[in-house]
Amino acid sequence: MTRRALITGITGQDGSYLAEHLLSQGYQVWGLLRGQTNPRTSRVGHLASDLSFVDGDLTDQASLVAAVDTVQPDEVYNLGALSFVPGSWQQPELVTEVNGTGVLRMLEAIRMVSDLNGSRHADGGRIRFYQASSSEMFGRAAETPQSETTGFHPRSPYGVAKTYGHHITRTYRETFGMYAVSGVLFNHESPRRGTEFVTRKISLAAARIKLGHQKRLDLGNLDAVRDWGFAGDYVRAMHLMLQQDEPADYVVGTGRMHSVRDAVRCAFACVGLHWTDHVVVDPALVRPAEVEVLCADSRRVRAELGWEPTVDFAQLMRMMVESDLERLSREPVHGGLLPAAGR
């Protein structure tokens, strides 16, 4: 029987790559679309004829029950979230509702529908559930690198809500025997990354400056260190996590650390420019409760699931800059997307 997957957050960066990956594996892929009019489907427009969509919102329990009941999925990937960390200080309650309580609502929807229709599923009636946990949960981490056993010390409403989602997923697994797992994913980027995130803000600015559309790039903390990988690699890990005999949580990252300064240097070098001629530090973009260093100890996912990243940091930055140059040559005014304001 063709396996069915339901993806929340299908209009986002990861949702689009995961949809492509699952289609390539022979799945029937459904995406949850929120908003009653004009959902943002540009990232999956090229897949439209292969996908099915169902309405729903992580803040609305009834819509999730209806969506799960309509789709009858074998696997649910919960990628839906308000994912920009500084935005969580502007709308902390909404972020808690979507990123935290939304996880609980989806788990409850799966439980309710499984109880009604369990017999369809080969896996003893179990709908397998993936939760998009985040390295932001480590926050001010007690150790570097961070692994499955590192404690959480989140530094934003986003990180706190994700920590709730992580624990409630484990709790439903342990209490109800659900196949429910979390991937603790470190930063992953691509040409489809939102322009508010630092790597894409940098790649777009480097391309625009090269083409004479912009002169200056304002950034915040250049010393912040992240473990940046390619989103296309990370969705393979999500899928692998739902194919195991026993459910378990995994940390996923490259294990390589780079600073924001490294990212600007690399991106500007791709277009033959020197970053110090263009980058200005704007103190208003420095986060008051910064997460200074994140780096994955992903030995477990590599050893147990055989996952490996295929794109390194320099290749990733080059891929993003070249994509933005190409996009700008087609849409010279702003390449389709303007960088968002904010930290």
Return the active site residues.
163
Part in contact with ligand G4F (CB under 6 A); list of ranges 109-117, 206-214, 218-226, 243-251: 218-226
81 binds ligand NAP (CB under 6 A): yes
Q: Which of 132, 238, 257, 319 binds ligand NAP (CB under 6 A)?
A: 132
With contact defined as beta carbons under 8 Å apart, do 265 and 219 qualify?
A: no
What SS3 class is residue 74? coil
What 3 state SS string does 6-61 have?
Answer: EEECCCCHHHHHHHHHHHHCCCEEEEEECCCCCCCCHHHHHHHHHCEEEECCCCCH
152: exposed, middle or buried (Cβ count in 10 Å: 0-12, 13-18, 19+)? buried
Cα separation, 121 vs 68, whole angstroms: 13
* 3-class DSSP assignment, residue 115: helix
State whether the Cα torsion 243-309-301-12 is positive or negative: negative
With CB cut-offs between 5 and 8 Å by kind, which of ligand G4F, ligand NAP, none does residue 168 bind? none
Task: State in angstroms the smallest separation of the CB of 80 from ligand NAP.
Answer: 3
Question: With respect to ligand NAP, which residue has the nearer C-beta, 172 or 186?
Answer: 186
State the DSSP code for 122. T
d(CA 271, CA 192): 20
Rounded CA separation 105/164 (Å): 12
Q: How far apart, in whole angstroms, are the C-alpha atoms of residue 16 and residue 79?
A: 11
Interacting stretch for ligand G4F, rule CB under 6 A, among 143-151, 214-222, 268-276, 327-335? Answer: 214-222
Nearer to ligand NAP, 209 or 219 (CB): 219
Among 60, 197, 273, 327, binds ligand G4F (CB under 6 A): 197
Tell me whether residue 209 or residue 266 sits nearer to ligand NAP (CB atom). 266
How far apart are the C-alpha atoms of 327 and 112, rounded to whole Å? 45
- The yes or no reply on residue 11 touching ligand NAP (CB under 6 A) is yes
If one asks whether residue 227 binds ligand NAP (CB under 6 A), the answer comes out as no
Which one among 185, 198, 257, 291 touches ligand NAP, defined by CB under 6 A? 185
Give the interface segment with ligand G4F, choosing from 54-62, 111-119, 141-149, 285-293 (CB under 6 A): 285-293
Compare residues 4 and 166 and give the one whose CB is closer to ligand G4F.
166
Q: Considering CB distances under 5 to 8 angstroms, the limit depending on partner class, which of ligand G4F, ligand NAP, none binds residue 85?
A: ligand G4F
Residue count, binding to ligand G4F (CB under 6 A)? 23
Residues 75-94 that bind ligand G4F (CB under 6 A): 83, 85
Instruction: Give least dist CB 180 to ligand G4F, A.
Output: 19
The answer to whether residues 243 and 284 touch, using CB atoms and an 8 Å cutoff, is no
Q: Which amino acid is at 2?
A: T
Which residue is at the shortest CB distance from ligand NAP?
12
The minimum distance between CB 218 and ligand G4F, in angstroms, equals: 7
Concatenate the DSSP letters of all residues of 193-225 into one string: S-TTSHHHHHHHHHHHHHTTS---EEES-TT-E
**Tokens linked to 30:** 């459904």
Q: Which residues bind ligand G4F (CB under 6 A)?
A: 83, 85, 134-136, 186-187, 196-198, 201, 219-221, 224, 226, 260, 285, 287, 290-291, 294, 343
Q: Which residues bind ligand NAP (CB under 6 A)?
A: 8-9, 11-15, 32, 34-35, 39-40, 57-59, 79-83, 98, 132, 134, 185, 187-188, 194
